Amino acid sequence: MPRREEKRNLETIPVGSLGMIPLKGIKPLAEKVDYYLVKWRAERENEHKGSLAFTGYERPSYILDAEVPRFGTGEAKGVIKTSVRGDDLYLLVDVCNYSQTYSLFGQENHMSPDDHYQDLKRLIAAVGGKARRITVIMPFLYESRQHKRSSRESLDCAIALQELVSMGVDNIITFDAHDARVQNAIPLNGFETVRTTYQFIKALLRNVDDLKIDSEHMMVISPDEGGMSRAIYLASVLGLDVGMFYKRRDYTQVIDGRNPIISHEFLGSSVEGKSVIIVDDMISSGESMIDVARALKERKAARIYAFSTFGLFTNGLDEFDQAYKDGVIDRVLTTNLVYQSPELLSREWYISCDMSKYIAYLIDTLNHDASISDLLNPVERINSIIERYNSGELKASMEAEKKA
């Protein structure tokens, strides 16, 4: 199978001059994305590069100068320090970056998702409708867990999407949305929820040498019924069996806003002696993930790998440290789409999946108004990297990279 090209062959005229405005909580990721965009556009050959339509096509950086200064009361304003008239703008925001702080009446206050979302709106307001197109890249979709109504509740995610659209946002790109049906709130506007399956498989294959990827030696497990479509997709592209746990809850109580879990019940074939991939959209406290891993170990599973797009670890890392020490979990893989603490990155059991090149592909392609269908469907790339892994080519190329 031929190797995929590093940069895409894009011949169409750009929608407008490309500009990225990352909020400060996502700047490290945006800088990596910017590196790829600058590199590819400098190398790309295009006979129309000198034409007026390609003005500003090559730049030393596509990150525009913008900030959100705050007053002593905690109030703020969005400020863009360069012209964005006619630009194709991409605003990036990590609503889960709790490490960002601001002064509130002299007290240090950590930014909540609400704060990040308000800052995003401030910068959209600062654009003032002058951009040709605005795309919001929000990897963790704001309020995505409040996607459906039970009795008298607010539908926060739907309201947020409608609010962004009413402010002039044309497209919203998110990753592995908790429930993609929230896009029904904005049926006439662009909404893409992007899978991270390929990056997980690539990171696992690059870090574990002796995997046997077939239904006799490996299995995919969903920790709950809500994530079955995610698990079925991964199992289908890898040719594996799939299993599921469902959560028995005590509906007579509400603790921390939810009904407590009594036990995890398993549906599926035997996992004895198999390597198991547990796949979920997020690790919040991590209790469910570890409970499921322990239940699989009781059923004599061999090695357990946890895939989760968003590693939030709201209760800290101690439980995962203990689970790794006890041999319950072998590796945990999450992406850099949300803030990763230095403590997390230092853990032996943790593998980070870098999404910067993928986001750069999406931005570069969309700026040319070209189709991103092949980017949203990673089956060909997954088959290619598994073939390279089984043949030993992947390991050889990694060793060559280290020597270089």
Arithmetic mean of pLDDT, 35-43: 92
% of the chain exceeding 70 in pLDDT: 96
DSSP state of 167: T
Q: Is residue 1's pLDDT more than 50?
A: no
For residues 60 and 24, give the distance between their C-alpha atoms in angstroms, rounded to a whole number: 20
Here the contacts of 55-58 (C-beta below 8 Å, separation 24 or greater) are 55/17, 56/17, 56/18, 57/14, 57/17, 57/18
Burial class (CB in 10 A: 0-12, 13-18, 19+), 14: buried
Q: Is residue 204's pLDDT more than 80?
A: yes
Residue 191: phi and psi, rounded to 5, are -145, 120
CB-CB neighbours of 69 under 10 Å: 9
For residues 37 and 284, give the distance between their C-alpha atoms in angstroms, rounded to a whole number: 32
Q: Give Cβ neighbours of residue 213 (< 8 Å, ≥ 6 apart).
A: 238, 239, 240, 386, 389, 390
Q: Is residue 46's pLDDT more than 70?
A: no
For residue 399, the model assigns a pLDDT of 82
Handedness of CA 215, 220, 221, 226 (dihedral sign): negative
241-249 β-sheet, strand order: 261-267, 241-249, 218-222, 275-283, 304-311, 331-335, 350-353
The chain-wide mean pLDDT, for the chain, equals 90
For residues 125 and 247, give the distance between their C-alpha atoms in angstroms, rounded to a whole number: 43
pLDDT in tens, 254-287: 877 777 777 777 888 889 999 999 999 999 988 8
